[in-house]
């Protein structure tokens, strides 16, 4: 479900409509100080002021609660005679939340409170917190959409409660916006800082995320959630000793929750200490609550080890965890490929596809125009070939409405009224997928002993292989790329992608990867395939920016017919003779274009241009910085540049 928290207040007088509450002068000041995080002034004023109303009494309890004075909140019980039903129920709900004796009963009381007229926004916040505690996220979301639109900025507790609901549902942009609104009033609100850190992390702003986590820790140094977030950020930027230091700073590391041991495993793995990494992951998996991160990473370590015995023991030990997680199932597929069991590998990747289809597979609006254009043109092709499925037939007219709007690739497109669900289905569903068998030789007739010798001698490590695939394999893979509606990842430069776990797993591709690994034992050796993808490019835009990939070996080949390329000197790949530093984070070597360009300039890097040719493969050290060359391809769906990538082994940190 797509969540939106651009909300405003329903100011009707009916039940459940929050109204501006009437506080005495002193408690109005307490509320103002509390919202700004100034408890040093708020609490003394609270204690010295007479309570004149239910609103004053409830503000006193909320102020004490937010400041962490839980015993003082409980001490207020019985001191005030509640007159209004909402305040009586809300105060009892707050006590239930603090004591944790019966959070369902507390929720029932809070639900009754918000159904009363004149309920305070803080009581609404309490209701949302209790819904979150009881994992009733859908009810919380429904209440927000029905009753709240743009709550007043000074309602900091409500904003925090809404931000936590948004974060739980994966609406990170909404969570971030709400948390920032709190920080605009209370710069030291550690909950808002933590949510901002979590949101920035998920949105890809790792250094920003780390900054928020550091600030949050200075305010609440003992809060485990903040320490865990610090470790996540430090591991992501490659500061592994800092992550280990954060773990060691816990009161009793042996009693740390499993998620901490999982992050400790990431740190040791990043430092190359496999033994300590395995121990940390096993510690994380020794509890009833087993972090998916630990299972995935332990699978990775075993897949890339010389022996497979530990891998299959792990699969036997945690079958439900592994077979219920898409990332783990993909890893199983890679493990089967490494053993040469292509059929079992194929089964795992198709299982990933079925698991992906059950989940939401479409990102938030707006839709980039190039994505609409591609999907419409692909369904048109299927219609011409007589392969339009029932769902594709329904999707085609929906996509056409947006396809006809504009030819500008920079135009973002939003659904028209009532069109959101049909457009989401049109873009998100895999309408057509080819389960074609493949037999025979996947690779062309190439002297791979000579290729290996050339690769070892070249500086940088790069070889070009023409006629890479056999003719039957090239035809089969091209047909799959043209017809299979698995192109669900969209990018800023207008290109779109398909990945192993999302349906880009035709048998012909798996056969090519297996044959290549066997043909190049001196270069690929025992390194497993770690990922495969394909990208299609919009002729009106440019390709992939300068970057490096985490693998040891990058196998990049092109399958669009030669006649589609209008410039025989471009259209391929530009590869620099400088690799990414081993201590750079993924964000740096894969996304930070300005930093990469500065580094290449400082190193005096030289580039090599490999022009486009149909069925040409560029096999190179994947840590070398590289980019798509300029594109000059004819218009039309079948003329889109398509490149396929196989990655073997791991060299850089992710």
552-591: per-residue pLDDT in tens?
A: 999 999 999 999 999 999 999 999 999 999 888 888 899 8
Report cis status (omega within 30 of 0) of the bond before 366.
Answer: yes
CB 240 within 8 A of CB 267: yes
Q: State CA 595 to chain mean position distance.
A: 23
- pLDDT confidence of 78, banded at 50, 70, 90? confident
Identify the burial level of 294 via C-beta atoms within 10 angstroms of its C-beta, where 0-12 means exposed, 13-18 middle and 19 or more buried.
buried
Helix (H, G, I), strand (E, B) or coil at 217: helix
Q: 19 pLDDT exceeds 70?
A: no
Of 16 and 352, the structure prediction assigns the larger pLDDT to 352
Check whether 365 has a pLDDT greater than 50.
Answer: yes
Query: Which residues have CB under 8 Å from 374's CB, separation 6+?
Result: 487, 496, 536, 538, 637, 640
Which ranges in 188-239 belong to alpha helices (H)? Answer: 190-202, 206-219, 224-236
- Statement: residue 80 has pLDDT above 60: yes
- Residue 234 backbone phi and psi in degrees, to 5: -65, -40
**Greater model confidence, 364 or 97:** 97
Cα separation, 97 vs 91, in Å, equals 10
Check: CB of residue 493 under 8 Å from CB of residue 544: yes
Q: What is the pLDDT of residue 4?
A: 30
Tell whether the torsion through CA atoms of 613, 616, 622 and 624 is positive or negative.
negative
Question: Is the per-residue pLDDT at 419 higher than 80?
Answer: yes
* Sheet hosting strand 573-579, strand order edge to edge: 607-610, 573-579, 624-628
Residue 221 makes CB contacts below 8 A (sequence gap 6+) with none
CA dihedral 27, 30, 32, 38 (to 10 degrees): 180
Q: Are 532 and 645 in contact (CB under 8 A)?
A: yes
Torsion, Cα of 20, 23, 29, 32 (10° steps):
-20
Query: CA 68 to CA 377: how far, in whole Å?
Result: 58
In 537-629 the beta strands, taken as DSSP E runs, fall at: 553-558, 573-579, 607-610, 617-621, 624-628
Structural domains in the chain, CATH included, are 25-186 (1.25.40), 243-353 (1.25.40.10), 367-428 (no CATH), 448-631+639-648 (2.60.120.620)
C-alpha 469/C-alpha 473 separation (Å) is 6
pLDDT tens string 155-168 = 999 999 999 999 99
Residue identified by tokens 């690799």 is: 579
- At 418 the pLDDT is 83
Please compute, for residue 163, the number of CA atoms within 13 A of its CA located in the half-sphere on the CB side: 25
Q: Is 20 left (phi over 0), alpha (psi -120 to 50) or beta?
A: beta
- Which band of pLDDT confidence, cut at 50, 70 and 90, is reported for residue 359? low
3-state secondary structure of 556: strand
Contact (Cβ atoms closer than 8 angstroms) between residue 178 and residue 191: no
Tens digit of each residue's pLDDT (9 = 90 or more) over 88-110: 999 999 999 999 989 999 999 99
Q: Is the pLDDT of residue 152 over 80?
A: yes
Res 586: pLDDT: 86
Q: Under a CB-based contact definition with an 8 Å cutoff, are residues 36 and 186 in contact?
A: yes
Q: Largest alpha-carbon pair distance within the chain?
A: 91
Q: What is the pLDDT of residue 251?
A: 79
**pTM for this predicted structure:** 0.85
pLDDT for 6 equals 30
Structure tokens of 386?
Answer: 């007589």
pLDDT confidence bin for 361, thresholds 50/70/90:
low
Neighbouring C-beta atoms of residue 252, cutoff 10 Å: 6
Q: Is the pLDDT of residue 61 over 50?
A: yes
In degrees, rounded to 5, the angle at the alpha carbon of residue 460 between the alpha carbons of residues 458 and 466 is 65
The whole-number average pLDDT for the span 16-38 is: 83
The count of other CB atoms within 10 Å of the CB of residue 47 is 11
**CA pair distance 616, 597, nearest whole angstrom:** 27
* Separation in Å, CA 215 to CA 90, 191, 227, 231, 252: 32, 11, 11, 14, 23
Tokens of 20: 């501006």
Average pLDDT, the chain: 92
- Cβ atoms of 140 and 106 within 8 Å: the answer is no
Residues 6+ apart with CB under 8 A from 206: 200, 233, 236, 237, 585, 587
Does the pLDDT of residue 186 top 50, yes or no? yes
Residues with Cβ within 8 Å of 241's Cβ and at least 6 positions away in sequence, in order, are 267, 271
What is the model's pLDDT at position 118?
A: 86
CA-to-CA distance for 23 and 51, rounded, in angstroms?
A: 9
Give the angle 35-36-38 at the CA atoms, nearest 5°: 105
SS3 547: strand
- Report the C-alpha gap between 479 and 357 in whole angstroms: 22
Among residues 100, 137, 107, 136, the alpha carbon closest in space to that of 123 is found at 107
From the CB of residue 444, how many other CB atoms can be counted at a distance below 10 Å? 17
**Predicted local confidence at residue 12, as pLDDT:** 40
Model confidence band, residue 306 (pLDDT cutoffs 50, 70, 90): confident
Residues 6+ apart with CB under 8 A from 359: none
CA–CA separation, 256 and 243 (whole Å): 14
Length of the chain in residues, anyone?
654
Secondary structure percentages of the chain, helix, strand, coil, to 5: 55, 10, 35
Give pLDDT tens digits for 205-225.
999 999 999 999 999 998 999
Angle between helix 103-114 and helix 121-133 axes, rounded to 10 deg: 150
Contact 623, 651 (CB under 8 A): yes
* Alpha-carbon dihedral sign for residues 217, 223, 226, 232: positive
Eight-state DSSP code of residue 251:
S
Q: Confidence class of residue 357 from pLDDT cuts 50, 70 and 90?
A: confident
């Amino acid at each position: 479900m797509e969540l939106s928290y651009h909300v405003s207040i329903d100011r009707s007088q009916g039940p459940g409509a929050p109204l501006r509450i009437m506080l005495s002068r002193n408690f109005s000041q307490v509320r103002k100080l509390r919202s700004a995080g100034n408890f040093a002034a708020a609490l003394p004023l609270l204690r010295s002021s007479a309570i004149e109303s239910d609103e004053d009494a409830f503000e006193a309890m909320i102020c004490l609660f937010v400041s962490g004075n839980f015993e003082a909140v409980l001490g207020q019980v019985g001191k005030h005679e509640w007159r209004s039903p909402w305040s009586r129920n809300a105060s009892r709900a707050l006590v239930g939340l603090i004591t944790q004796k019966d959070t369902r009963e507390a929720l029932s009381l809070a639900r009754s409170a918000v159904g009363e007229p004149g309920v305070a926004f803080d009581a609404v916040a309490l209701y949302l917190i209790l819904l979150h505690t009881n994992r009733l996220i859908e009810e919380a979301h429904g209440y927000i959409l029905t009753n709240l639109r743009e709550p007043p900025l000074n309602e900091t507790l409500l904003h925090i409660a809404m931000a936590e609901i948004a974060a739980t549902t994966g609406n990170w942009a909404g969570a971030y916006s709400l948390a920032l609104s709190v920080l605009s009033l209370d710069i030291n609100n550690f909950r808002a800082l933590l949510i901002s850190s979590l949101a920035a992390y998920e949105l890809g702003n790792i250094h920003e995320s780390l900054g928020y986590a550091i600030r949050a820790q200075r305010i609440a140094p003992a809060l485990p959630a903040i320490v865990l977030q610090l470790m996540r950020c430090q591991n992501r930027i490659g500061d592994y000793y800092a992550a280990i230091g954060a773990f060691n700073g816990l009161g009793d590391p042996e009693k740390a929750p499993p998620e901490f041991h999982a992050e400790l495993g990431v740190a040791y793995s990043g430092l190359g200490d496999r033994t300590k990494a395995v121990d940390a992951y096993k510690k994380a998996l020794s509890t009833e609550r087993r972090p998916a991160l630990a299972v995935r990473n332990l699978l990775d370590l075993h897949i890339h080890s010389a022996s497979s015995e530990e891998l299959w023991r792990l699969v036997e030990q945690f079958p439900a965890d592994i077979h219920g997680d898409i990332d783990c199932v993909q890893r199983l597929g890679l493990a089967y490929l490494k053993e040469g069991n292509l059929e079992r590998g194929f089964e795992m990747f198709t299982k990933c596809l079925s698991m992906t289809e059950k989940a939401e597979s479409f990102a938030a609006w707006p839709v980039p125009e190039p994505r609409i254009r591609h999907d419409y043109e692909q369904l048109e092709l299927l219609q011409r070939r007589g392969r339009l499925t029932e769902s594709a037939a329904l999707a085609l007219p929906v996509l056409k409405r947006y396809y006809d709007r504009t030819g500008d690739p920079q135009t973002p497109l939003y659904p028209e009224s009532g069109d959101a669900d049909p457009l989401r289905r049109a873009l998100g569903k895999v309408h057509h997928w080819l389960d074609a068998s493949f037999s025979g030789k996947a690779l062309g007739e190439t002297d791979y002993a000579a290729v290996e010798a050339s690769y070892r001698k070249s500086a940088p490590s790069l070889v070009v292989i023409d006629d890479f695939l056999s003719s039957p394999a090239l035809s089969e893979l091209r047909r799959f790329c043209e017809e299979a509606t698995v192109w669900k990842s969209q990018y800023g430069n207008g290109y779109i992608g398909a990945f192993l776990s999302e349906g880009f797993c035709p048998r012909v591709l798996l056969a090519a990867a297996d044959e290549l690994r066997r043909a190049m034992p001196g270069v690929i050796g025992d390194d497993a395939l770690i990922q495969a993808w394909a990208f299609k490019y919009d002729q009106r835009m440019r390709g992939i920016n300068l970057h490096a990939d985490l693998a040891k070996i990058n196998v990049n080949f092109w399958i669009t017919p030669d006649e589609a390329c209008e410039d025989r000197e471009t259209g391929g790949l530009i590869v620099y003779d400088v690799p990414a530093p081993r201590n750079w984070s993924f964000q740096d070597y894969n996304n930070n274009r300005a930093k990469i360009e500065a580094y290449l300039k400082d190193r005096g890097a030289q580039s090599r241009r490999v022009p486009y040719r149909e069925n040409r493969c560029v096999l190179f050290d994947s840590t070398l910085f590289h980019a798509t060359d300029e594109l000059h391809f004819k218009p039309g769906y079948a003329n889109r540049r398509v490149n396929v990538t196989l990655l073997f082994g791991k060299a850089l940190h992710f």
